Amino acid sequence: MFTHSRYFLRETFLSLRRNLLMTVAGVLTVFVSLFLLGGVLLLSTWVGNGTQRWTQDFELEIFMMQDATDAQVAAIETDLTKSEFVERFDFIDQDDAYEIYQDLFKDQPELLVGVTPSDLPPSFRVVPTDPEMTNQLAQAFRGRPGVYQVATAEELVDSILRITGFIRVGFVLISVVLLASSLFLIVNTIRLATFARRREIQVMKLVGATNWFVRVPFMLEGMIQGLIGAFVAVLGVVVLKVAVFERINGGSLTSGFYVTNGEVVTIGLLIILVGVLVGAIGSFIGLRRFIEV
């Protein structure tokens, strides 16, 4: 068994070196495709965690008109206090809204120029006793005197998911195309290797070598290509998480969005699994032409 293992490893690395250019091309294509796939998974996890936090923090927000009278604001507050469907609510006056606005756009000072508290509407952030009552509550306050707009967390979350959904679909399509390309490169690499050693393979089979004994080094070759590409992609995903996702978590708008280290580990393991599978499948397809399965 040990002798067989040494033989398999030696033949695998010799074959990788003989077809170095194709090997590098295959590894790079696997890396790019799996890095994009990892980016999609990171984005999905980040958005999922963030939107969950948003729906837990509040379910709807009642924006008052900028010129709403004290009596109109008081009427809304009274109705919210009396409502059996409201668990709690917070009133955000124009000064509070201005502080939130400044915090949101602290890194974009050009958006702060000329904006004063009087330019921003006061609002009520409301958490219903039952999330299923959100739309009913929203309808009850829409069109009331002094009310400008009632926005539900579901509507905000849907907007975020719609935008990120387009990004995810685009990245997934690109990843699939690149994975197909990497599969094609691995198949051709294995076919080149088997074609170059076709006489040696025929001799080995004449002296009793089984199909699997002949096949293993080539299978390992494809799997190693997939594994190397996947490993580099995992490193890229870790860098992406630290350099991008952690940096944009500082503002109020993205404070509830995050990706845990455990989730990154799960994504990394999935990437490695996909990389190895792509390599194994590519090897299997590449061998069928020269070695009877």
pLDDT digit string, tens, across residues 219-240: 777 788 888 899 999 999 999 8
Spatial contact of 282 and 186, defined as CB atoms under 8 Å apart = yes
Q: What is residue 51's predicted lDDT score, i.e. its pLDDT?
A: 64
Fold of 59-151: Alpha-Beta Plaits (3.30.70)
pLDDT reading at 77 higher than 50: yes
Per-position DSSP letters for 214-258, written without gaps between them = HHHHHHHHHHHHHHHHHHHHHHHHHHHIIIIITGGGSSSTTTT--
Lookup: tokens for 184? 């094609």
Could you tell me the pTM of the whole model? 0.62
> Which residue ranges make up each domain of the chain?
2-54+158-287, 59-151
Point out which residues pair with 90 in neighbouring strands: 125
**pLDDT tens-digit map of 107-123:** 667 777 888 888 888 99
Q: Which amino acid is at 153?
A: A
Beta bridge partners of 152: 60
Whether 159 and 76 have beta carbons less than 8 Å apart is answered as no
**168: pLDDT confidence band, cut at 50, 70 and 90?**
confident
What mean pLDDT is predicted for residues 167-187?
80
